[in-house]
Amino acid sequence: MAATEFGINARHGGANSRVLPSALPPQEVAALIADLIGSRAAGLYRRPVYKANSLKLK
């Protein structure tokens, strides 16, 4: 999740993701996306627990 003001500026409200402990700075998210595009990988998991959780859903 990117730490942005999107939620607090959304028309129907939302969470302020800037205060969430797992939120990443927008610049870091942009760099991760650029790296992902360049790598042609199928997905990106910033933390191992996120990948483990997604594999449980398959």
- In this predicted model, which residue has the larger pLDDT, 50 or 23? 23
- Cα 25 vs. chain centroid, distance in angstroms? 9
Q: Which residues contact 5 (CB under 8 A, 6 or more apart)?
A: 16, 18
The answer to whether the beta carbons of residues 13 and 7 sit under 8 Å apart is yes
pLDDT at 58: 66
Model confidence pLDDT, tens digit, residues 9-47: 888 878 888 888 888 899 999 998 999 999 988 888 877
- pTM for the whole structure: 0.64
